[in-house]
Amino acid sequence: MKHDTPSSVERRALLKASMAAAAGLLITGTGALAPLAARADNSAKVLRVGYQKYGTLILLKARGTLEKRLAPLGVTVEWREFPAGPQLLEGLNAGAVDVGTVGETPPIFAQAGGVDFVYIGNEPPAPAAEAIVVPHNSPLKTVADLRGKRVALNRGSNVHFLLVRALEKAGVKYTEIQPSYLTPSDARAAFTQGGVDAWVIWDPYFAAIQHQENARVLTDGTGLVKNLQYYVATRSYATAQPAIVNALLDEIAALDTWSTQHLADVSSLLAGQTGLDGATVDLAVKRTTFGVTRITDATLAYQQQIADAFSELKLIPKPLTVAEARWKV
């Protein structure tokens, strides 16, 4: 089990403080909480975008094309960073953001928790961009060797489903491992200090631990999961402002087209935004996919499989009908 050190405690305190601020709760000039009614009145003037340290939206932020697209409409853009999908959806639920990007599992946990959001689009599968890794000198050779071991992951993140599917394929019950639910920063510390035996993680953290610590891959998502990147919005915002949501998706589509033709520029932009070294970013970009599409029946059916799997494992409190979170334009 992981024991807290002063540094990890401090990190958690800072994370909680930053999330409390992000979850926003709009602050007025006098320091009081702005009423939700005021937010509703201003919803057409500001688009608040939740993004993570890596992915399409951070590229969109870096290039500034969304601001140019929305300026003639009198709409400004506010960007708010989150450490992972579950926290971003908490921010969305708290009214801190209108739209954002997450992996395939966070929306399942969010819907189970009563978050009123809709799926508005997704990127193509990128199964090789997440993996279960162990230290390079670990005696563990296969996923089956995880039985009884300590496995770090961010609960409810995209890699949670990878772990479930990998264990299932290896004939290991979820109850036979010791999950350590940690944010990526805490998980990396635990991994490098020997506090856990394995780490289930996504890019660019995956690429960083490979490049910087020579971590060894037990399995990536190939043949197990799709690892889709979703764009989500609060149902109220998507219903009230479909033109702005569609403009966002159009700009993402244009960015995706540009990205496929300028991978070196993508790496350069991401290196500047993330602070990661070039070799790490290059490795992650090779596993990234581009090509946003609207949500399809097949995509929702895949999400339903994830929801059913987590329901059967009692990792979410109730069965879900994923299609209830489909954006109806």
In angstroms, the Cα distances linking 205 to 30, 107, 117, 237 are 39, 21, 27, 31
Percent of the chain with pLDDT over 70: 87
Question: What is the model's pLDDT at position 53?
Answer: 85
> Cα separation of 169 and 163, whole Å?
10
Whether 36 shows a pLDDT value over 90: the answer reads no
Mean of pLDDT values over 18-34: 32
- Give the model confidence (pLDDT) of 67-104 as tens digits: 999 999 999 999 999 988 999 999 999 999 999 999 99
Provide the sign of the torsion angle of the four alpha carbons 17, 103, 249, 208, taken in this order: positive
Residues 6+ apart with CB under 8 A from 259: 56, 59, 266, 290
* pLDDT tier for residue 238 given thresholds of 50, 70 and 90: very high
Q: Which residue ranges form the domains of the chain, and what is each CATH number?
A: 6-124+228-325 (3.40.190.10), 127-220 (3.40.190.10)
pLDDT tens digits, residue range 178-219? Answer: 999 999 999 999 999 999 999 999 999 999 999 999 999 999
pLDDT above 80: residue 293? yes
User: Residue 43: which pLDDT band, with cuts at 50, 70 and 90?
Assistant: low
Share of the chain above pLDDT 90, in %: 83
For residues 122-144, average pLDDT? 98
Statement: residue 3 has pLDDT above 60: no
Q: In sequence order, which residues have a C-beta less than 8 Å from that of residue 71 and are 6 or more positions away?
A: none
What tens digit of pLDDT does each residue of 141-171 get? 999 999 999 999 999 989 999 999 999 999 9
CA torsion 83-86-87-88 (nearest 10°) is 90
User: Residue 282 — very low, low, confident or very high, per pLDDT cuts 50/70/90?
Assistant: very high
- Per-residue pLDDT tens digits for 47-58: 999 999 888 999
pLDDT of residue 265: 95
Asked whether residue 25 carries a pLDDT value surpassing 80, the answer given is no
Nearest by Cα to 150 from 105, 200, 106, 185 = 200
Task: Show the tokens assigned to 40.
Answer: 């509703």
